[in-house]
Structure 1
């Protein structure tokens, strides 16, 4: 059965609102909730970037049913992987087994703040592989020493661990990342409805003798009663999205994103993001994901002020329409 998620967009709302929205999203019927993990918003107009792990800790206590996930955390520069393992294990306990650790190779926007530079993509992928090994070792509960090309760990141990290790989901976007990450992860994260990517991931897992995994996608929408206003909001808040992840991962500041997106028109955004009050365009956009093989699809509702109305719409119209249309 296809599962539908709600995104806690830390770039567009403060921590108290995010916690309230998380509780409301569970009540509206979403199956899972994912949180971005940023130090910066993409654009100044978004205006927020609270610490995702504190937010998720609070969310774990105001929800009971929904699964929780980082979408995604970079465990290599801003955070050391040993510290990410500790955070994830703690959240696994707080949520009583509802947490999945989503990991990725990172974005310059968030990682530059600690002054360690921004490695080339191949180095970032190598760092992520080492980080996953460290996290897995620490989830095993023993004393861990590790010396790699990028990281060292000395006599580390996690003292509070859930009975079942926290699952790992890794973000992949191309052939090289699929080859590296599919044997290491429990699940796939991807942000485009690419059937070849999902199929390639599944093949590499099968070749390694691993079970089938979940494929977890995400897409933005901007629901609202006035389509023109929704397009305006999507353009103001989300025009950075038009650059694509290969560009977006390298830009260092909100000023960089503003410059890169200065010629993106509202109509350009509306071509990529379903906007307005109608259910059908949203269902059509989500359909691309399940037809590509995704099992889990998280929605981003663009615009902090519209979350309450959107969640009411999701409960009464959108989620029933998605579940009726989706494969079971």
Structure 2
């Protein structure tokens, strides 16, 4: 059975709006939500980037049943993993049985801000392994000292722990990260309907773990209006190769996306109000092996999007 979730995008919405949208999702047929964790938006047009852990606390007070996870927290450079261990434990208390921690190797856009070196991906994967080990060790509640290759923890103890520890889902966009996700995680988070990614994740040990995907869409009654909105707000969806991971500022993303056309966005983002197009895109992820598909509605049209999905799309998803 596939679950469909709602993506709360901190790069597009302020903290109060995010809480409102989470409340709408809690009252809707969406079964969970995921929330981004950035220091910067991708482009200045998006215009927001609140501190996600404050927002999570507010969502915990505003919702009753909504399951919520981060997508994606990078616990290796901007954050020390010991701080994420405490933050996620607190979120687990505020959202008992409803919170999960999504982690990954991050993007330079948000992780370079303290002046740290931006390592190559293989090094960041090693850092992530160590970070997850620290988080799980601290979640035992014991006094912990840890002297690793990348991180040091001295006499740290987390006192506020939930009865049910949050699962840790690991993001991957290639085979090395997928295998790592299978080895250290309690689930996979992907952004493309890649069957081989899931096979590698399962080969790494993730056979019985959940598999989350993210799908960009832009609902509007008029398809051209939806394309215009997606092009204005989310042009980085069309950037090729590794640019997403290595560009350091929103200004650099704006320079890079100057070459992106509306046709490029229309090919990559499901735009408009034809339910069959939305269902087909979701089914592509299901066919690849994902059992959770998180829908990112680009732009401010959130309530109408949720109503459209409840009426026209979700009933068709098995």
Is TM-score (shorter-chain normalized) higher than 0.5?
yes
CA distance in 2, matches of 1:80, 1:249: 20
Structure 2, unmatched stretches of 5+, are none
CA distance, structure 1, for counterparts of residue 179 and residue 30 of structure 2: 32
3-state SS, counterpart of residue 261 of structure 1: helix
**Cα offset for 1:178?**
2.5
Q: Hey, what does 1:223 align to over in structure 2?
A: 219
Alignment match, 1:301: 297
Q: TM-score of the superposition, structure 1-length normalised?
A: 0.94
Counterparts of 1:278 and 1:308 in 2: how far apart (Å)?
17
Contact 2:108 2:246 in 1 (8 A): yes
Displacement after TM superposition at 1:117 (Å): 2.4
Q: Give secondary structure in 2 for the equivalent of 1:119.
A: coil
CA contact (8 A) 1:169 1:186 kept: yes
**Residue 213 in 1 paired to residue 213 in 2?**
no
Q: What CA distance in whole angstroms lies between the structure 1 residues aligned with 2:42 and 2:220? A: 22
Match of 1:315 in 2: 310
Between 1:117-126 and 1:267-276, the stretch displaced more is 117-126
For 1:61, the equivalent position in structure 2 comes to: 61
Number of aligned residue pairs = 318
Give the Å deviation of 1:246: 2.5
- In structure 1, the partner of 2:252 is 256
In 1: Cα distance, 2:282 partner to 2:50 partner: 28
- Distance in 2 separating the partners of 1:117 and 1:203: 32
CA distance in 2, matches of 1:146, 1:55: 30
Is the partner of 1:55 in helix, strand or coil? helix
CA contact (8 A) 1:28 1:314 kept: no
List per-residue Cα deviations over 1:88-128 (Å, max 9, x = no partner). 00000100120010000011000111111211112111111
**Equivalent position of 1:154 in the other structure:** 154
Indicate which of 282, 285, 289 corresponds to 1:289: 285
Structure 2 distance, partners of 1:218, 1:14, is: 21
Q: 1:47 offset after TM fit, Å?
A: 0.4
Matched, 1:268 2:264: yes
SS in 1 for 2:286: helix
- Structure 1 segments, 4+ long, off by >4 Å, are none
Distance 1:17 1:175 in 2: 36
Map 1:1-328 → 2, pairs under 5 A = 1-205=1-205, 212-244=208-240, 246-304=242-300, 306-321=301-316, 323=317, 326=318
